[in-house]
A and B are shown apart, each in its own frame.
Chain A
Amino acid sequence: MKENQKTYWKGIEQLTNDSEFVKKNEGEFPEYLPVSDQDGNSNRRDFLKLMGFGIAAASLAACEAPVRKAIPYLNKPVDVDPSVPNYYASTYVNGGDAVSIVVKTREGRPIKVEGNKYSSIGQGGTNAQVEASVLSLYDKERLAGPSKDGAEADWETVDREITAQLNDIASKGGQIRIVSQSVLSPTTKRAVGEFAAKFPTTQHVTYDAASAYGISEAHRRSFGEAMIPSYDFSKAHTIVSVGADFLGTWISPIEFTKQYSKTRKINDHHREMSRHYQFESNLSLTGSNADYRTPIKPSQVGPLVVAMYNGIAAKAGQATVSGGAAVDHATEAINELWANRGKSLVVCGSNDPMVQVLINGINSMLGNYGTTLDANVPVHYRQGNDQAMSNLVKEMNSGSVSAVIFFNCNPAYDSAEGAALSASISKVGLTVSTSDRMDETASVVKYVAPDHHYLEQWNDAELREGHYSLVQPTISPIFKTRQAPESFLKWAGQDVEYYTYLQNNWRENFFGKQTDTSSFQTFWDKALYDGVFETGGSNRSLSLDTAAASAAATSIAQNYKVGAGGFELSLYQKIGLGDGSQANNPWLQEMSDPITKATWDNYLTMSIADANEMGITLKEGETQLVDLTVGGTTVKIPVLVQPGQANGTLGMAVGYGRTKAGRVGDNLGVDAYPMMTKLNGANVMDVFAGVSVTATGESYRIAQTQTHQTYMGRENVIQEATLSEYKEDAGAGRWHPKIYKEGKYIKPSKITLWKGHEYSNHHWAMTIDMNSCTGCSACTVACQAENNIPVVGKEEVLNRREMAWIRIDRYYSAANPAGSKKELENAAENPEVTFQPMMCQHCNNAPCETVCPVAATTHSSEGLNQMTYNRCIGTRYCANNCPYKVRRFNWFKYHDNTQFDMNSSMNNDLGKMVLNPDVTVRARGVMEKCTMCVQRIQAGKLTAKREGRRPVDGEISIACASACPSDAITFGDLNDTNSKISQMLQIEDKKDGEGATERVVNEERAYHVLEEINVNPNIWYMTKIRNKQKTEA
């Protein structure tokens, strides 16, 4: 080939190597080209050329190329496929609350938390706080690394200095304290133990923001072992709760809701349900679900429990104790409890050990230990010792403590000793916090060694004895944080990776508890995959110390003075915000409280009678500020008039009034923790005396998402009956609208202009069992996380513009159900409560679809009402014409808008990581609403298609349904006759006379809200059934 390399000459000059040619050929551009004219000036053509180039260059330069941060996927992480979610079993841990969960991650970032169905405790349920916790991971106000004296520091310095000081203190015999809320992790406890072994003067002080010390102390008194037994409401026919909000906030609400809901499920074949008596001061979530609810003052709790004890003791032939005062429904409760011995459960929310001693006695006499109560499987959620905490503060104040480490807790804010603790902290030499943010405690200590968020760490948790749940990281730590137990080990001189430490602990302590496999790796992998490892508790032989009861009765007689006059105060936790640790989470702040429907605030709940007396009304959120004086301290707080509130009592939520939570959570409401009192060594949430309220006349607006209390007697909205009626007629409480046509009264569905839709593939639908729904609102936060729903802030909630796609309508019974239209607006003093989850009803004859001028909302071939955001021009006609008012309009731009910086999931780069990439973030000016999680339906269909099969029932679940801890929401395909929903509704395809098939729902409890307007929704509601003797308010 080489021979073929010919040289082609371009002209005779090249061939001859003409000297002039050679010279001119040297440059790239031959000089002799007429670039300029003779005298050297540019000519016109050059001007044009240069100008053309100049304009082109200038305009190109002006178009700034967008900077795209692309991460090359050259080395694809194993198991991470773009757009394919991964699920990891883990455990939600926040203080003493823990739930086994499954975390959904997309492209390596956790975006959604769901319950772990393998856990026998949570059984797949979640609550609002668990659902919202994923946003707390992406809180930009978490500390980015360790700090010293409030300034950034590096780990090396912090470790060096802390270790040096600890060694110094230990060598001098100085006292070291580790303060934490209940620690559920056995491995962490081991690490703390090793720390204590290294520094022998260490004591671990545990407290709980919501203390249940009274229960464990009572068990110590009654049975000799301080513990909290596990409860099983599912086995209880009669449930009596004295002030325990077990469905909302008490000990393990998700678990209890799951159990409770099992006793509230009824159908044609099973027409029995539990009966639930509630005696309480504030209208709690639990109380609102009770069949009989009696409002009592906190000071009546003790005497009531004594009376119940005596009632049961009399029947059991046991010794009674002195004192006691019964209240309405107490006698019936006692009789039924006795009739259902061993199938009943009495719980009490009081933290007074003496009251709990009597509760133990009652449950013991009823034979409930071993059935509805299991002392062999104590729970670990609340290990706090209130007395130890009081002692600690005394010690700190006396200067006898040299070092204190606040391990993931914020006692300066959320303990009863908060103020005293903050004041005495300067007397402690070494102060360390492992808090994730500069909270009230971390900001007064010297060193902050921030812990990982639970989604970033390896850990474990022992929820109950023998019930372990693993915490597995779903993202690498976002900040330079370090796991707290690893820090403890580090300071104790052990340089060990916590993952290894955890595995070793499991190898040594838990691997031996099972016999399934002899390979630790197999055991570990299985435990990690399942997320849980359950062995069961250990047998105890407990014997009741009956003498404790009379001592308790004496104490109660001293402490509970009924009718002392004046207001009593009952503090409580809100379903959303809980103890306030997640105060900087806007999803929880904006979650509408299930009972008061208020957001972004706490307030004083006051009974209707008391409010009338004080001349306070609540209308459209407009109320008054009052001066609340408790024990000499006065705070200004708005009043929320609360039906069901016991007269003479006030309710107030803790968790508010934070000053160092962050941008979102600061300065909302009033801090109620300082109002906690002590009784028999335990922190109690009730204040019996020294409470006064004076009106200030200043007006205030509480941001409520629902301002109307009753359902105005509208049977087309709420259909309910009592159990006795239901037993006789499965259609009890149902309302059948009829329309007059040509001499006959016919069903509304028989008159229509609509031609109907043909659903040849799927027909998605949903049922909502109003009897199971407790109103807990987990679904609303789940929906918010799943569907990128913006938070709009208090002002916009006041403007009635919250964006929630699913809401829980809460209706009170009217004071005078037979009254005029005006009278119907007033709620009863102690109302019956009905919860009705409300979201897009996916109407088959959708009024929204017809009115959209641009066809932006249309009907799918599978029964869904779809919203095309891109096409929407925002006339809001659809929302006006929606009889359920479930459509939400983007009044403003809620993302990337500094006015909405509280909407942290859309307004900073870190927060945006929580967004679900499958769901569009909606633009300003478009309408949105529930899509029935169409992205999940689509994903499920695609999976099935890829595998060449039909989607299996239960495979596709939607966010609200899967979050629901009471299984009130069932989603499925009506075209699949074997689906759970078809079975529930007893679907039957009937042929009518003209050969057309009509789908008939035979379940008599199922109804459409607003059936008479025949919009024919795909959402069915099941009547609410109350286990009452007769209809009464």
Chain B
Amino acid sequence: MQVTSPVRKPLITGGKTVHDVTEDICRQVEAKPSKLWLMAFGISVVTLAIGFLAVAATLWEGIGMWGLNKTVGWAWDITNFVWWVGIGHAGTLISAVLLLFRQKWRMAINRASEAMTIFAVICAAMFPVLHMGRPWLGAYWALPLPNTFGSLWVNFNSPLLWDVFAISTYFSVSLVFWYLGLVPDFATIRDRATGIRKKIYGALSLGWDGAARTWSRYESVSLILAGLATPLVLSVHTIVSFDFATSVIPGWHTTIFPPYFVAGAIFSGFAMVLTLMIVTRQVFKLHDYITIEHIELMNIVIIVTGSIVGIAYITEFFIAWYSGVPAEQYAFFNRMQGPYWWAYWSMMTCNVISPQLFWSKKIRTSIAATFIISIIVNIGMWFERFVIIVTSLHRDYLPSSWAMFYPTVYDMGVYLFTFGLFFTAFFLFAKFFPVINMAEVKSIVKSSSEKTA
């Protein structure tokens, strides 16, 4: 049993008992879907369907449906990819790293943020496949599969191939980790359910029996997986950043990218978790589990990572000047003053300036402010990737090739598709899976609950 200093603020408010926890969480799963949920889910499915039209058009007609050109070969596709992968970072960070650091405040949010990770990575993975000219071949040619083509093999020098491994590993580990955590909670629901629901949750809970030995194994596996997942938090975005860092394009060829990308990913991941948790908290009335304390702690992570990102931006500029490489200097000049200056300044405003507002306790403990800033941060992080990818490409070495990128409705449609996919999946999860890890929360009810008279 862990001992927690009573000085710490309670993590669960409202004097909840263990039974209350079960009731509060299972209520969402067991009740009929609320109108609000049906509406939100409906909108997500419609978005998914509209987005699918763009995906289908792209697959049918070709990548030409997008706004890309001879100079800018990647734009929204890889921007979205990196953005979603970045969002997918928070889940693992919260569940694995904070578990290892024994941060108990993670318990209320880890389930949902892990789910978010899984869905975000699925959304992210859409882009490397969809952006290929021939995805029907690329989807498996990019894997090192034994084949009958003779000596034909993947190119292990290519950062894109590293991405394949990094993303698939990250996805598999996250999925297992997430599912493993769900097992005891599924068992709880199973035990309360009847009929077909009992069968389904019974199957999902993998025959969980709640024995002390089972719990012991469960905790060991959790720790092992947390240990495995922790390096992945750093590796995934490091490898994603290699796509750019190992190239020769000014603005891409930068050694600062790995830490800068990882910080940015955590930054955007936490922002996305906040956005989703604030909504879930309101809709499912989980104020006692996801407290202001949680939100404040996450906002502090956002200040830290946001500042790291800001320093990274400034460092890039300094190095561009210090390197004496004219092409590099121009690339950074072009970011600030070129035709895409608005993207650059949007990024700066959203990512560097807006999180600094959290220095004020009033703002970082305000639900509304947090919600708004969390969305701004995500917009800013999208622009960061857009700035890196598009403004570097559109004016590189030979001025004869300089061109502009203008997105088409299909670029937007495919992005919309991933939103639809993400929210459809998330709402399904929110309805049918326990959104808060009951088993873990119960373990701290005694130690960290608010004492009521």
Partner-B contacts on A (CB < 8 A): 620, 706-708, 710-712, 714, 716-717, 796, 799-802, 807, 809-811, 821-822, 836, 838, 847, 850-855, 871-877, 879-881, 883-885, 887-893, 923-927, 1009-1010, 1012-1013, 1015
- Give bound CA distance, A714 to B330, whole Å: 11
> Can you name 12 A-B pairs with beta carbons within 8 Å?
A620-B403, A717-B398, A821-B330, A854-B138, A854-B141, A873-B132, A874-B63, A889-B63, A892-B62, A925-B62, A1013-B248, A1015-B248
- Give bound CA distance, A578 to B243, whole Å: 46
Known: A851-B158, A925-B63. A883 touches B152 (CB 8 A): no
Find the A residue at minimum CB distance from B69.
A800
Across-interface contacts of A879 in B (CB, < 8 A): 70, 73
Across-interface contacts of B301 in A (CB, < 8 A): none
Find the B residue at minimum CB distance from A850.
B157
Contact, CB under 8 Å: A885 / B62: no
Known: A800-B69, A855-B155, A879-B73. A891 touches B62 (CB 8 A): yes
Find the B residue at minimum CB distance from A803.
B70
Contact, CB under 8 Å: B155 / A852: yes
Across-interface contacts of A872 in B (CB, < 8 A): 133-134
Across-interface contacts of A1015 in B (CB, < 8 A): 248
Contact, CB under 8 Å: B153 / A874: no
Contact, CB under 8 Å: B400 / A876: no
- Give bound CA distance, A875 to B78, whole Å: 10
Kindly provide the distance from the CB of B399 to the nearest chain A CB, expressed in whole angstroms: 5
Within 8 Å of chain A (Cβ to Cβ): is B154? yes
Kindly provide the distance from the CB of A912 to the nearest chain B CB, expressed in whole angstroms: 21
Across-interface contacts of A801 in B (CB, < 8 A): 64, 69-70
Partner of B248, one of A717, A836, A881: A881
Contact, CB under 8 Å: B400 / A855: no
Known: A880-B247, A889-B73. A707 touches B403 (CB 8 A): yes
Partner of A1010, one of B61, B131, B247, B397: B397
Contact, CB under 8 Å: B138 / A710: no
Contact, CB under 8 Å: B64 / A873: no
Known: A854-B154, A873-B134. A884 touches B62 (CB 8 A): no
Kindly provide the distance from the CB of B246 to the nearest chain A CB, expressed in whole angstroms: 7
- Give bound CA distance, A713 to B339, whole Å: 19
Contact, CB under 8 Å: B64 / A891: yes
- Give bound CA distance, A1010 to B248, whole Å: 11
Known: A707-B403, A891-B62. A927 touches B160 (CB 8 A): no
Across-interface contacts of A855 in B (CB, < 8 A): 152-155
Known: A885-B401, A925-B134. A853 touches B62 (CB 8 A): no
Contact, CB under 8 Å: B132 / A796: no
Known: A890-B133, A1013-B248. A710 touches B398 (CB 8 A): no
- Give bound CA distance, A926 to B138, whole Å: 11
Across-interface contacts of B330 in A (CB, < 8 A): 712, 821
Contact, CB under 8 Å: A880 / B398: no
Within 8 Å of chain A (Cβ to Cβ): is B159? yes
Find the A residue at minimum CB distance from B73.
A876
Find the A residue at minimum CB distance from B138.
A873
Find the A residue at minimum CB distance from B158.
A853
- The 8 A CB mask of B392-404 against A (1 = contact, 0 = none) is 0100111111111
Contact, CB under 8 Å: A853 / B142: yes
Across-interface contacts of B74 in A (CB, < 8 A): 876-877, 880
Contact, CB under 8 Å: A800 / B133: no
- Give bound CA distance, A700 to B400, whole Å: 22
Nearest first, the 4 A-B pairs at minimum CB distance are A874-B133, A925-B133, A873-B138, A891-B64
Kindly provide the distance from the CB of B177 to the nearest chain A CB, expressed in whole angstroms: 27
Known: A925-B132, A927-B133, A1013-B248. A890 touches B62 (CB 8 A): yes
- Give bound CA distance, A785 to B123, whole Å: 43
Task: Count residues on chain B whose CB falls below 8 Å from chain A CBs.
Answer: 53
- Give bound CA distance, A18 to B351, whole Å: 106
Within 8 Å of chain A (Cβ to Cβ): is B161? yes
Kindly provide the distance from the CB of A203 to the nearest chain B CB, expressed in whole angstroms: 52
Find the A residue at minimum CB distance from B163.
A853
Kindly provide the distance from the CB of B339 to the nearest chain A CB, expressed in whole angstroms: 9
Known: A873-B141, A892-B64. A885 touches B70 (CB 8 A): yes
Within 8 Å of chain A (Cβ to Cβ): is B337? yes
- Give bound CA distance, A72 to B67, whole Å: 48
Across-interface contacts of B13 in A (CB, < 8 A): none
- Give bound CA distance, A802 to B154, whole Å: 30
Contact, CB under 8 Å: A811 / B154: no
| 226-258 of chain B: CB within 8 A of chain A | 243, 246-249
- Give bound CA distance, A884 to B399, whole Å: 10
- The 8 A CB mask of B372-404 against A (1 = contact, 0 = none) is 000000000000000000000100111111111
Within 8 Å of chain A (Cβ to Cβ): is B164? yes
Known: A822-B337, A879-B73, A880-B393. A874 touches B399 (CB 8 A): no
Other than the given A810-B400, A836-B400, A876-B133, 8 more pairs (CB < 8 A) read A707-B402, A708-B402, A717-B398, A852-B155, A873-B137, A879-B73, A888-B70, A890-B133
- Give bound CA distance, A708 to B395, whole Å: 10
Find the A residue at minimum CB distance from B66.
A891
- Give bound CA distance, A711 to B393, whole Å: 17
Known: A889-B133, A924-B133. A853 touches B333 (CB 8 A): no
Contact, CB under 8 Å: B62 / A924: yes
Contact, CB under 8 Å: A838 / B249: no
- Give bound CA distance, A714 to B401, whole Å: 14
Find the B residue at minimum CB distance from A881.
B247
Find the A residue at minimum CB distance from B135.
A873
Kindly provide the distance from the CB of B320 to the nearest chain A CB, expressed in whole angstroms: 13
- Give bound CA distance, A1013 to B154, whole Å: 26
- Give bound CA distance, A822 to B334, whole Å: 9
Counting chain B CB atoms within 10 Å of each CB, the highest count among A711, A809, A850 belongs to A850
Contact, CB under 8 Å: B396 / A708: no
Kindly provide the distance from the CB of A195 to the nearest chain B CB, expressed in whole angstroms: 53
- Give bound CA distance, A1013 to B249, whole Å: 10
- Give bound CA distance, A892 to B63, whole Å: 7
| 68-116 of chain B: CB within 8 A of chain A | 68-71, 73-74
Across-interface contacts of B159 in A (CB, < 8 A): 851
Kindly provide the distance from the CB of B149 to the nearest chain A CB, expressed in whole angstroms: 8
Contact, CB under 8 Å: B160 / A875: yes
- Give bound CA distance, A872 to B142, whole Å: 10
Across-interface contacts of A889 in B (CB, < 8 A): 63, 68, 70, 73, 133
Across-interface contacts of A926 in B (CB, < 8 A): 133-134
Within 8 Å of chain A (Cβ to Cβ): is B42? no
Across-interface contacts of A877 in B (CB, < 8 A): 73-74, 158, 160, 243
Contact, CB under 8 Å: B400 / A807: yes
Find the B residue at minimum CB distance from A893.
B62
- Give bound CA distance, A261 to B139, whole Å: 52
- Give bound CA distance, A801 to B69, whole Å: 5
Partner of A838, one of B68, B133, B155, B400: B400
Across-interface contacts of B33 in A (CB, < 8 A): none
Within 8 Å of chain A (Cβ to Cβ): is B14? no
Kindly provide the distance from the CB of B336 to the nearest chain A CB, expressed in whole angstroms: 11
Counting chain A CB atoms within 10 Å of each CB, the highest count among B128, B337, B393, B402 belongs to B402
Contact, CB under 8 Å: B400 / A811: yes
Within 8 Å of chain A (Cβ to Cβ): is B326? yes
Contact, CB under 8 Å: B403 / A800: yes
Contact, CB under 8 Å: A874 / B132: yes
Across-interface contacts of B401 in A (CB, < 8 A): 706, 884-885
Kindly provide the distance from the CB of B403 to the nearest chain A CB, expressed in whole angstroms: 5
Across-interface contacts of A881 in B (CB, < 8 A): 247-249
Contact, CB under 8 Å: B158 / A883: no
Kindly provide the distance from the CB of A860 to the nearest chain B CB, expressed in whole angstroms: 15
Across-interface contacts of A888 in B (CB, < 8 A): 70
Known: A714-B399, A838-B400. A892 touches B133 (CB 8 A): no
- Give bound CA distance, A1009 to B70, whole Å: 19
Known: A711-B399, A874-B63, A883-B396. A854 touches B155 (CB 8 A): yes
Across-interface contacts of B337 in A (CB, < 8 A): 821-822
Contact, CB under 8 Å: A873 / B399: no
Across-interface contacts of A925 in B (CB, < 8 A): 62-63, 132-134
